Amino acid sequence: MPMPKYRNTETGLTGRFRVRRQAFSGLSILQVEVSVKRSRYPLDSSNDDIKTMTDWRNATYEEAIRIQIDYGG
């Protein structure tokens, strides 16, 4: 029997950010760390598979502006 798929639900920002360099154009990309609740899909599988972890994703325009305002020097 195949394993059920994972469902990742973003629960919020952790407050950490980093900047990475885009490979093709060399532009700087702002990334934010998010809390993710990872569970199996469909929901009838056991609840022991629910985990909370962190992941990085590219920041939205609003998040990038907010970070620049809060941490701007």
Q: Looking at the 3D structure of the chain, how many domains does it have?
A: 1
Q: Write down the pLDDT at residue 43.
A: 63
Which helix (H) or strand (E) segment holds residue 26: the answer is none
1: in domain: no
Per-residue b/e over 46-57, b at no fewer than 16 CB within 10 Å? eeeeeeeeeeee
Q: Write down the pLDDT at residue 40.
A: 81
**What backbone torsions phi and psi does residue 48 show, to the nearest 5 degrees?**
-70, -15
Q: What is the mean pLDDT of the chain?
A: 85
- Rounded to two decimals, the pTM is 0.73
Q: Write down the pLDDT at residue 69.
A: 86
Higher pLDDT, 71 or 58: 58
**In this predicted model, what pLDDT tens digit does every residue of 17-28 receive, in sequence order?**
999 999 999 999
Q: Write down the pLDDT at residue 35.
A: 94
In which domain, by residue range, is 16 found? Answer: 6-72
17: in domain: yes
25: in domain: yes
Let me know: does 28 contact 56? Beta carbons within 8 Å.
Answer: no
